Structure 1
Amino acid sequence: MWVLGISRSHNGAVALTHNGKIYSAIQAERISRIKRQPIFLKEDKALVSECVEYCLNQAGIRHADINSIAISTPWGFNQIENNWLFDYIGGAPNDYRGTYYVPHHFSHMEYILHYSNLLPGIVLIVDGSGSLERDRQKFNIFEDPSPECISHVHMMGKETVSAYWFDGNDTSLVYRFSPSVASFEKCNLNSNGLLQSIGHYWRWASNYCFGLHSEAGKVMGLAASGNSAEHTNLNILSVNKDGLITLDYEKLHKEFKSPNIFGKDLSGEKHYADVSAMVQRDTEKILMDILTILKGKYTTNTLYYAGGVALNVVANEKIIRSGLFENVILNGSVEDNGTAIGAALAASNILMKKRVTETVTDFYGRAYVNNEILTAIEEFSFEFEFVEEDQIYDRVASLLFNNKVVGWFQGRSEFGPRALGNRSILANPSSPNMKYILDLHIKHRDRYRPYAPVVLEERARQYFDIDGVSPVMMREGKVLKNNFPAITHVDGSARVQTVTENENEPLYKLIKAFDKVSGFPIILNTSFNLPGEPIVESPTDALNSFSNGSLEYLCLGNYLVSRSSKSAKS
């Protein structure tokens, strides 16, 4: 049973599942090369068709083999005629079982439950906003509300927080906060179109601190430099004992009158750091308050947590270390791109009448073989050599140990927002100058933004205050040794990725080789892309980035490329 999933969203994506297992997935931005590329299903037929083709080619099937299409969107929608939809994806199925329209938060839920191993628990979804209440009757996959559901749903509402109870097979809606989108509502005065939403609180902070709505990651990085004790009296974001969330935009408008509209560098800017710290603190508190309410009604030691706000590793760690749950399950693609997978899984569950689970990963893109890599390399004028499998890890480890910065392109590409060692830039975390080199010459990033370490899972506790695992870089821990300045944030923490040989054999072997020459099993890992661009997808993307950037070496499969010229062959 082949099901195609589409995220019609500001972070558009296409995914393909087979018999309840995730086969392939691609963010539209990796194809268009435009960061945060939306899918509208309007005038973007060529892009959507290319994303679909990408997934079909990975599976070795054609459009005729597709059995169903599932669509999820946080926007308003109308159902689509099959002939029009088939034309849009580039071909018609032969044995078509129907098109499914899946609620946005429900799609997030289905995706995270794919990693459940059928363990009962609470599922919490927190993002900017999801489905409109007026569209509920248009869906043909339905939520099952619990008789005890805590419901704060406005007839003109849009879901911003949802929670479900998972009994090991079926789900029921147990909490929904869906505030009005109407600008005339008192709660929306001075909101500038933002909603009563934890995710939109971060959008406000992003606009205020950086002049753009999409820089929540920068806000989180800046927060570590701020004083969380500032602005404690304002009570901007809160939830009462009945689960009603309040975000006071009028107070924000009154208290904060110095927006960074020109996007100046905020390194050393205490005001904006304190604002960021306030938003971080308020977010951690309200998440804990919501979870305490839910835990009081549903006795469980397991939490599944997704939605865009779940990218906040500091808040994630607060939840994990609270002791409220023994098991906190996180996946990597918690943003809207993941709803392409979630929608496909929701349809698959219905069609197959059973739920399938797998191990957490984000390697859902395609791999490129050495012949494809060589063809791409020969279009450029760089020096390169083929390095045998038994030598490649030692060669690259030696380069890293000698403080060379290396582009690392191996295996299947990552689907989510974070490079996990297959489309990465790697460096020596112990070099005192490495962060400066990366900030100034490679990534062109603000000085307050940290870089992440990837560490062998079996030795992670020697170097980081972290229990458990973090295969998709969703955990934070204090750095226990002071000789890793390139990956240590200003507050002494790091966003940790752990890796095992089963999860990523090439990366694991490289870290083992680096450990032999350096004495520690940690490498700095950051995404392989130039500023303002998506992570590289193909060998050509990687070579273009290498050509236009300042990397010294690039390892694609078994080929080691070094810089000799920036001009591509005509």
Structure 2
Amino acid sequence: MFILGISAYFHDSAACLLKDGQIIAAAQEERFTRLKNEASFPACAIRFCLEFAGITLAEVDHIVFYEKPFLKFERLLETYLSDAPKGLRSFLKAMPLWLNDKLFLKKRMQGELKKIQSSGSGNREILFTEHHHSHAASAFFASPFSEAVILTVDGVGEWATTTVSIGRDKKIDMVQEIKFPHSLGLLYAAFTAYLGFKVNSDEYKVMGLAAYGTPRYCSLIYEHLLAVKADGSFYMNMDYFNYCTGLTMTNKKFDRLFGAAPRKPGEELTAFHKDIAASIQQVTTTVLLQLASHLQQQFGMDNLCMAGGVALNCVANSQLVEKSGFRKIWIQPAAGDAGGAVGAALAIYHEYLGKERAVPVGKDLMQNALLGPSFPEALVEEILVAHHLSFQKTAPEDFHARVAQYIADGKVVGYFNGRMEFGPRALGSRSILADPRNPDMQSILNRKIKFREGFRPFAPAVLEEFAEAYFGLKAESPYMLFVGRTSFDDLPAITHLDGTARVQTVNAAEHQDFYQLIHTFYRLTGCPLLINTSFNVMDEPIVCTPADAIRCFQHTHMDVLAIEGYLVLKADQEQHGAAI
């Protein structure tokens, strides 16, 4: 049985294909279109999923969309009516889009599916799940738990912004919710916009910037913007926000509260901006911890699952691990809207169809998020030749040794191997790798490779058995969703200003190739970890194809491209006159 899950039309569109309840393929549309956070119908991602399974769309048993458009439209109408006559401009802008397009998504999607496969009679039936239920299902049904509390926190779905559910076996029951406009995700997004960054895209920049500031504005946030109850539930003062009916996140009253106008993109980041970032990060962490701690006491369960965009806040997540009382926490690696495609499909399989769950002992169903396309060596060689590149083919037993030596010599390596990752993190399949011991490497990577802000930190990928000694981590962190404290002073390139690092633990059985590479570097240097950052430049998606990787390699100061057993050296291209 095949089930196709789809998320689209807001941001981070994606598709996921299940075969008999197992996730066999999943990908974000942005990786194919090369438009970051692509929102359009994921036609390319769907085609990939079908091609991977070797089936046609006609062979898919069920197709499901990750939210319910009519409920979303209901929220939009009720919000405008309750705030009228405010928001008339925004209303006039939004209504034609909804009436002509978004309100009739079923018909629109059926048309898009016909473009993928025109044969077959009639329109395909499309099922719909609610947005937060898709998030909850993506967290629980993909987790290694047979029962858990499920916490979903994001900007907003149809109405819900925060939900609590209980997952047992093949059933999920929502038991609590906070509704729009009161939203921890939108609060964080409002500060993201105030700091001059992109909403639904750059929230992680605020998290990184927070380490450089002092949280001196927390009391101001609690006094004027956010009321938090003992159980972690909250209420926002909407007098300071404009996102309900306006075209901006905050208003002039918000600016007056903090004594400054919003930062414009590209403007200098001052101490004030850093303190603002530190303050909203601390408030978010505190509220999440209060909420999770209460849930553990209320339900007395050992396991917590999380999803929704706020669940990507690894600084807050680590506080939950340490202090919430839950023994184990599992977070969906594609916690944002892309993961909704996974959750929608799993919800149909287990709840709508009533199929049993088979929970592997100690394993989740995400397969290290390596769910995207891969490319055979022969095709890679053809592409390298077509790009007129000088390259070397290495024997499998020599490949990791060569790459590890380049990294130890101070080279920056673009590493492309196996199936592409699903979700926002590069996890050793589409990664840029470097030596964490090099004190200049953070600056080199930010300035010459990623072309991004200098305050941005880099993550370490560490052999799992060394995670506790180096970072104090007692739990696995295969998806870079937790931070640890660095225990060694000779790792400047991966140590953030506050002494933390966003850690990826690498397991020999689950991620064999990447483990072998890091282990080879360890044997060579005595250091059991590498810098691992995504194979892309700022404001571009992670690379998908060999051609994408070559383009990124050519337009940055990357030294080596290691791609499916082939080595491409920047110095060789210059020597032989190849395009660089």
Q: TM-score w.r.t. structure 1 length?
A: 0.87
8 Å contact kept, 2:161–2:178: yes
Q: Give, as a single letter, the amino acid of the residue that structure 1 aligns with 2:4.
A: L
Residue 263 of structure 2 corresponds to 260
**From 534, 538, 545, the counterpart of 1:531:** 538
Per the alignment, residue 304 of structure 2 pairs with 303
* Higher mean C-alpha displacement, 230-239 vs 299-308: 230-239
Is the counterpart of residue 380 in structure 1 residue 387 in structure 2?
Answer: yes
Report what 1:192 is aligned to.
none
Residue deviations 1:307-357, cap 9 Å, x none?
100110010001110042011111210010000111111112223532344
**Equivalent position of 1:145 in the other structure:** none
Secondary structure (helix, strand or coil) at the match of 2:369 reads: coil
Quick one: which of 531, 534, 545 aligns to 2:552?
A: 545
Displacement of 1:538 after TM fit? 0.6
| Other-structure match for 1:340 | 341
Structure 1 unaligned blocks of 5 or more? 42-47, 132-157, 180-194
Output the CA distance in 1 between the equivalents of 2:50 and 2:120: 12
Which residue does the alignment assign to 2:436? 429
Residue by residue over 1:460-504, the C-alpha shift from the partner in whole angstroms, topping out at 9 and shown as x without a partner, is 112112111100111100000000000000001000000011121
| More divergent stretch after superposition (84-93 vs 380-389) | 84-93
- Change beyond 3 A, Cα 1:124–1:200: same
Return closer, same or farther for 1:174/1:541 CA change in 2, 3 Å cut-off: same
Paired residues in the alignment total: 520
How much has 1:94 moved relative to structure 2? 8.3
The yes-or-no answer on 1:196 pairing with 2:182 is yes
Pair 1:7 & 2:7 matched: yes
3-state SS of paired residue (1:34): coil
Structure 1 position 243, deviation (Å): 6.3
Alignment RMSD: 2.2
Match of 1:187 in 2: none
Output the CA distance in 1 between the equivalents of 2:422 and 2:149. 25
User: Are residues 531 and 233 of structure 1, via their aligned partners in 2, closer, same or farther at CA, if it must alter by over 3 Å?
Assistant: closer
218 and 167 in structure 1: CA distance in 2 versus 1, 3 angstrom threshold: same
Which residue does 2:249 correspond to in 1? none
| Separation in 2, partners of 1:421, 1:382 | 24
Aligned residues of 1:15 and 1:26 also touching (Cα < 8 A): yes
Task: Name the residue aligned to 1:105.
Answer: 132
Say if 2:178 and 2:233, in contact at 8 Å, map to a contact too.
Answer: yes
Which structure has greater helix proportion? 2
Task: Tell me which residue corresponds to 1:228.
Answer: 215
Is the 1:21–1:356 contact (alpha carbons within 8 Å) kept by the matching residues of 2? no
Moved more, 489-498 or 84-93: 84-93
3-state SS, counterpart of residue 80 of structure 1: helix
Which residue is 1:115 aligned to? 142
Deviations 1:445-474 (A, max 9, x none): 212110000000011112112111100111
Q: CA deviation at 1:273?
A: 0.9
**Counterpart contact for 2:231–2:291, Cα < 8 Å:** no
AA at the equivalent of 1:237: L
Work out the CA distance in 1 between the residues paired with 2:329 and 2:391: 45
Indicate the residue corresponding to 1:219 in structure 2. 206
Q: Distance in 2 between matches of 1:359 and 1:87?
A: 30
* Residue 488 of structure 2 is aligned to residue 461 of structure 1: no
Deviation at 1:237, TM superposition (A): 2.6
Could you tell which deviates more after superposition, 168-177 or 253-262? Answer: 253-262
Structure 1 residue 385, shift from structure 2 partner = 0.6
- How many angstroms apart in 1 are the aligned matches of 2:221 and 2:365? 43
List aligned pairs for 1:20-39, cutoff 5 A. 20-39=21-40
> Stretches of 4+ moved more than 6 A in 1?
93-97, 566-569
Partner of 1:210: 196
- Closer, same or farther in 2 for the Cα pair 1:326/1:118, shift >3 Å? closer
The residue identity in structure 1 corresponding to 2:432 is I
Indicate if the aligned counterparts of 1:63 and 1:91 stay in contact, CA closer than 8 A.
no
The 5 A counterparts of 1:170-185 are 170-179=171-180
SS for the counterpart of 1:447 is coil
Equivalent residue number for residue 248 of structure 2? none
Using the TM superposition, give the Cα deviation of residue 216 of structure 1 relative to its aligned residue in structure 2, in angstroms: 0.6
Q: CA deviation at 1:252?
A: 3.3
- Secondary structure of the 1:413 match is coil
Q: What's 2:89 paired with?
A: none
| Distance (whole Å) between structure 1 residues aligned to residue 345 and residue 49 of structure 2 | 13
Which residue number in structure 2 is paired with residue 154 of structure 1? none
Residue 396 of structure 2, aligned match among 380, 385, 389: 389
1:55 to 31, 40, 49: 49
Q: 2:184 and 2:119 mapped to 1: Cα distance?
A: 41
CA distance change for structure 1 residues 230 and 83 in 2, over 3 Å: closer, same or farther?
closer
Q: What is the alpha-carbon distance in structure 1 between the residues aligned to residue 20 and residue 468 of structure 2?
A: 38
What are the Cα deviations for residues 16-51 of structure 1, in whole angstroms up to 9, with x where unaligned? Answer: 111111010110100100101002x4xxxxxx3322
Q: Which residue of 1 aligns with 2:82?
A: none
SS in 1 for 2:541: coil
Offset from partner CA, 1:80-119 (integer Å, 9 cap, x none): 2585354144345689994210101111111111233342
Distance verdict in 2 for CA 1:294–1:558, change over 3 Å:
same
Gapped regions of structure 2 (runs ≥ 5): 74-102, 241-252
Q: Secondary structure at the match of 2:496?
A: coil
- Taking the aligned partners of 1:316 and 1:23, their CA distance within structure 2 comes to 28
Q: Aligned to 2:128, what secondary structure does the other structure show?
A: strand
